[in-house]
Structure 1
Amino acid sequence: MSTGSELRFDDVVVRFGDLAAVDHVSLVVPEGEVVGLVGESGSGKSTLARAAVGLVPFEGAITLGGEPVPTRGRRRPVQMVFQDPQSSLDPRMSIGESIAEAIPPGSSRAERRAEVARLLELVHLDPGRSAARPSELSGGQRQRVALARALAGRPSVVVADEITSALDVSIQGAVLNLVRELQRELGLSMLFISHNLAVVRYVATRVAVMRHGRIVEQGETARVLADPEHDYTRELLAAVPGGHRAAVPTSTEPSRSTP
């Protein structure tokens, strides 16, 4: 991993015609922290994520360590993991080839093979399966490959866009455990996007609540969930089955399994 830096959104606006999908958003992802961004579908969360990696034009400023985030070239310090791992991995490439493609240039073929093996082990996949195609893996395994591919770029920040919502409930917890483990082991900085407050509570140290393109509340996760200030945050909490103190909807015990 490269040296971490603070990812900052300052007064960011994304327009689609006359519609402001992101409306003057300011948000900080501190170095070494997981910040949860939560809101209903259509609130602008994914659009903000795409702005961070240069997939949509925007107004305002998005900086990393005080400098504009570079979105071109092989070295991209902000990497994104998408909701659907099936569509984010090239079906014609083996998983090892997909990961190797994201490794910055300058290493030998042997070094790249070793790095692919290291990354697969890091996400709890057998390096011996590097020749497998995405279609040969389960949804949870494909999402682990997508995480490994993002980490291969040696990013300062990972943007994770609803990375468990396309997975079976039975394996969501294992992927969330992996996110927590990577944060601990690598000091990973992450913007973690979800519509599920229980999931955000499990992985994020800070949370921002987004509605109609705007941040309506943000702060330390424990504080926001225990004593929300905005009515919309209260609505989201009320919608969590079993209350906002409920665990994520799968086992959260540490596991080395690879569902």
Structure 2
Amino acid sequence: MSELRFEGLTVRYGATTAVDDVSLTVPEGQIVGLVGESGSGKSTLARAAVGLAPIESGRILLDGRPVPTTGRRRPLQMVFQDPYSSLDPRMSIGESVAEAMPRGASRLERRAEVERLLELVHLDPARAAARPAELSGGQRQRVALARALAGRPQVVIADEITSALDVSIQGAVLNLVRELQAELGLSMLFISHNLAVVRYVATHVAVMRDGRIVEQGTTAQVLAEPEHVYTRELLAAVPGTNSRSPR
């Protein structure tokens, strides 16, 4: 895995500045949580990283070099809130995972890799022939994770991947994210509007509001000593936490 770095990134749509001079680092082998309310710019930042949003200024670097935006193999893989965004309903889940693999492997090798990846995300390889519609939302999100990993990415970007799931299913997917990070040494930008979710999975956290990063640091540091009033507001909304009154 690798280090992903945003340097002074700005994204504009007409007169609207969606991301405003953002600098953020995802260290190698770490999960960085990016938290903020809807419209804060966090998903736009993610989309810019994978070439889906126009960059007006600034740079996105992977191990110190510009992220390549051409070629079949992409070093950054994104997992979306809705797994249907990356899963073709006409294809079996095994075919969807295999489609994302680098070229060159034999049919038997691809089949074995599909089985390995499905097992990695705790899905029965015997279900490889199933269509996405036959799976639950949580299972589809596991397939989306397997598909992202099939591309052998250097960094994974997870954009609100649990927000559409039932609370009981959210916990299982979050546990899987932690397990994958520990087993594979994943570098991941984990985006959420829920600070409790970010606290559970991330080693570092950045708080975004109105297109800007207002606070960032280790998760333990930011949550124990929040400096920005917006961070304290987010923390106060998490059940079972005590936030300090604004200074």
Q: What is the TM-score when the length of structure 1 is the normalising length? A: 0.92
Q: CA deviation at 1:70?
A: 1.4
Coordinate RMSD, CA, aligned: 1.0
Deviation by residue 1:126-182 (Cα, 9 ceiling, x = unmatched): 001000000000000000000000000000100000000011112100000000000
Alignment check: 8 A CA contact 1:36 1:206 kept: yes
Q: Which moved more, 1:175-184 or 1:232-241?
A: 232-241
Letter in 1 for 2:101: I
The partner residue of 1:36 within 33, 38, 55 is 33
> How far apart are the structure 1 equivalents of 2:65 and 2:48?
15
State the secondary structure of the residue aligned to 1:15. Answer: strand
Aligned partner of 1:26 among 20, 23, 26: 23
Q: Which amino acid aligns with 1:21?
A: A
Equivalent-residue separation in structure 1 for 2:71 and 2:107 (angstroms): 20
CA contact (8 A) 1:197 1:244 kept: no
- TM-aligned CA distance change 1:17 to 1:244, over 3 Å: farther
2:163 to 159, 162, 165: 165
8 A Cα contact 1:37 1:192, kept in partner? yes
Q: Does 1:186 align with 2:177?
A: no
Among 57, 64, 72, which residue is 2:54 paired with?
57
Q: What is the correspondence of 1:1-259 to structure 2 with a 5 Å cutoff?
A: 4-58=1-55, 59-243=57-241
TM-score (norm 2): 0.96
Distance in 1 (CA, whole Å) between partners of 2:242 and 2:145 is 27
Cα shift readout 1:18-52 (whole Å, capped 9, x = no counterpart): 11100000000000000000000000000000001
Structure 2: how far apart are the matches of 1:86 and 1:10?
Answer: 31
Q: 1:244 to 1:196 in 2, by over 3 A?
A: farther
2:42 partner amino acid: K
1:244 shift after superposition: 6.4
Unaligned runs of at least 5 residues, structure 2: none
Q: Which 4+ stretches in 1 moved above 4 angstroms? A: none
Runs of at least 5 residues in structure 1 that lack an aligned partner in the other structure = 246-259
Give the Cα–Cα distance (whole angstroms) in 2 for the partners of residues 42 and 244 of structure 1: 26
What residue identity is the alignment partner of 2:141?
Answer: Q
What letter corresponds to residue 46 of structure 1 in structure 2?
S
2:146 aligned counterpart, secondary structure:
helix
Distance 1:56 1:133, change over 3 A: same
